[in-house]
Every structure is written in C-alpha cells, then in structure tokens.
Amino acid sequence: MLRLRRILLALRGARRVSSAALRTTASIARQTGAIVELLYVMDRESVGARVSPESVRQRLERLARSGPLRGCRVRVSVALGFPPHEQIIRRALASRANLVVAGYHSRGPAGRLFLRNTDWELIRYCPCPLLLVKSRRTFHRPVILAAVDPFHAHAKPARLDDRLLSAARDLGRVLHGSVHAFHAYMPLIANVEGPLGEPLVWESPAIENLHRAEIRRSFDRLMEKAGIPRSRRHLAMGDVPSELDLAVRRLRANVVVMGAVSRSGLKRLLIGSTAERVLDRLTCDLLVLKPRGTRAPRTARASRAPRASRAPRTARASRAARTTV
C-alpha cells in the first residue's frame, strides 16, 4: 500500500528550483496531508565565502513560505557530501520518507554514459517510491498508467506487478484519478535454417494467434485480480518505449507507474536500454518502484543523515508538525 505521509523533494539548486516538481509535490501534499521536506545537497566545492550551508538553508526556508507551498507543512534540510544520490537516500532513510520527488532533465545519449548520474542511481537504489517529474501539469484528477509485465520477460520478481498495480490504485484513490494498465509484447518470430543452412525468418499466423491469445489470457488474469476494468486495459504489440509513449499520449496520462530491478553482478552498469528509452521518451511523470527488500548502498546507510529544520506555514501547522513527526 502506498501511504504518503512524508515526501522528500530533492532540489537541484537552491536558487533555481524546478517549478514543476514543486507544484507536483505541493499538489500531492495538499491532497494527502503529507509533510514535505525540501532537501538540497551541496558538494564541498560549492561551499565557499559566498555560499554556505546556512545561507542555503535560509533560501530554502523562504521557499518553504512561498506561494506554491501555501497550506503545506514544510521542513528544510541541507546535506554536504558527494555523490548527491547517496545524500538523498541517506536523508530518505533517516526521515522515513514514503516518497522521494526529483525533477528529471533529459541529457541525451552522451549524458547517459555517466555511471553516477543522480537520476539513474536513485532509480537503482532509492529505498522508497521515486517520482521523477517531467511534465508541467499538476495532479488534478490524474490519469495513472501502470506498466506491467505478466510474463516477467525481463526477470522481474513475480510480485512486483502486484505492487505496481496496488500503488497505482492507491495513488488514484487519494488523488481522485483513474487507473489504467499497459503491457506491450513483441510478435513471435522463429529463426529457422534454410536448405543450405542459411538463416530464415519464419512467421506463422496460426502460431502468432496462439501467442497473442496466451498473452491476452495472462494479462486479463492479472487485471481481474487487480480489479482493472476492460475499458482501462491496454495491450499492444510492438516495442515497449514506442507503444507506451503512444498510450501515454492517447490517454493524456499524468504519470506512469513502472518497476525497476538492479541486475546482480551488473549493479554499476546502466539499468537497461529499454528503461533508458522509456525515461527519455515519455512526456509525463514517472513513478518508479522496486521489489520489496531492495536495500540502499552501504555507503548511503553508513553515515549520519542531516537533521531537518522546520519551516511551518502557520502556528497551527507548527503544532501539527510537532505532534505528527
């Protein structure tokens, strides 16, 4: 179950803040009553005569009192260290955050080569659900699309689909949105040898129909279990990034709920070409969940996380924050 009580918004900068991430976080907080914590991570090179943790904290406190967060219970914290994703994970663990929010900016093919890219490291290791904000739209009666894989073709744990659908339903119920489900599959094409041993591509309509029927049965079985009506089930044949992007545009989806798994033995590599293309292509926000039991890196768990200071909107909000947290 997705219970949103504490939201950690990881900021890219103290001066230039992603307005979309701020509005989305505030929208969720108002509808769920969650406490928002603004976190800014400073590396040691940025600390100098003109920039200090205290000056950054003061900027964050002004941001906490600004219009977009009006009516929300807000705290601020500043972390000093590198790499940024470890500081974010550290604070998420210490604050027991139910959701981490971060703005996402596509960097193109060259940017994805950096193994310590904060977005990808958070996708791999963030211990709680991660919301990557790409759209400027807020969550007003949102369309939520859960991307599932009933056949677990990419070695996903079998219960991850159930968790994705459960999170999508919980989010839809809290935000008064509609929940849809999506799955894409490739056609069944057999590679056979010709009379001279040459490779031939052979496709049988009868076998393809059987393949499609089996896919449909498995997908419908999962949907019936999750209570997703037929009108909100979207099964497509084709490349996952392309078909998912078409479904998002057709439905005007606000957020896609998707799973992520770190490959054993390949933890320092990119999470996969399909996930990369999905993340870069989608125009909506992306909520990423991992299997239960996924652990954060030891380096992110070892050091003590920074304490948050409160920046309540009102005296009433201050009293509520003291009794709730």
CATH of the domain at 171: 3.40.50.12370
Give the count of alpha carbons within 13 A of 305, CB side only: 22
Same domain, 302 and 275: no
So what's the pLDDT on residue 287? 95
276 found inside a domain: yes
% the chain with pLDDT above 70: 71
Same domain, 318 and 286: no
Angle between helices 240-251 and 273-281 (to 10 degrees): 30
Same domain, 168 and 65: no
Contact 320, 171 (CB under 8 A): no
Given a cut of 70, whether residue 323 has pLDDT beyond it is no
Most confident region among 78-87, 104-113, 203-212, 274-283 by mean pLDDT: 78-87
Domain count, the chain: 2
120 found inside a domain: no
- Phi and psi (nearest 5°) for 87? -65, -40
8-state DSSP, 140: S
pLDDT band for position 152 (cuts 50, 70, 90): low
Same domain, 267 and 184: yes
Sorted by sequence, the CB contacts under 8 Å of residue 157 that are 6+ apart come out as 261, 291
- The total of other beta-carbon atoms located within 10 Å of residue 13's CB is 11
Average pLDDT rounded to a whole number, residues 63-92: 92
Range of the domain at 252: 128-293
Same domain, 283 and 177: yes
Same domain, 103 and 248: no
264 found inside a domain: yes
Alpha carbon distance 308, 264 (integer Å): 34
Q: What is the reported pTM? A: 0.82
pLDDT band for position 186 (cuts 50, 70, 90): confident
Same domain, 228 and 273: yes
So what's the pLDDT on residue 104? 75
122 found inside a domain: no
Average pLDDT rounded to a whole number, residues 93-98: 95
Residue listed under structure tokens 């005296």: 315
Q: What CATH number has the domain bearing residue 93? A: 3.40.50.620
Given a cut of 60, whether residue 13 has pLDDT beyond it is yes
Same domain, 109 and 227: no
So what's the pLDDT on residue 44? 62
Which contacts of 220-228 are long-range, i.e. CB under 8 A and separated by 24 or more positions?
A: 221/150, 222/148, 222/150, 222/161, 222/165, 222/181, 223/181, 225/162, 226/162, 226/165, 226/166, 226/169, 226/181, 227/169, 228/165, 228/179, 228/180, 228/181
Same domain, 11 and 105: yes
Angle between helices 19-32 and 160-175 (to 10 degrees): 80
Q: Which of 24-33, 82-91, 119-128, 225-234 has the lowest mean pLDDT?
A: 119-128
So what's the pLDDT on residue 251? 97
Same domain, 91 and 186: no
Q: Which of 114-123, 128-137, 173-182, 259-268 has the lowest mean pLDDT?
A: 259-268
- Residue 293's SS3 state is coil
Q: Give the type of residue at 104.
A: Y
Given a cut of 80, whether residue 286 has pLDDT beyond it is yes
Bond preceding residue 127 cis, omega within 30 of 0: no
So what's the pLDDT on residue 302? 53
What is the average pLDDT score of the chain? Answer: 80
119 found inside a domain: no
Same domain, 73 and 92: yes
21 found inside a domain: yes
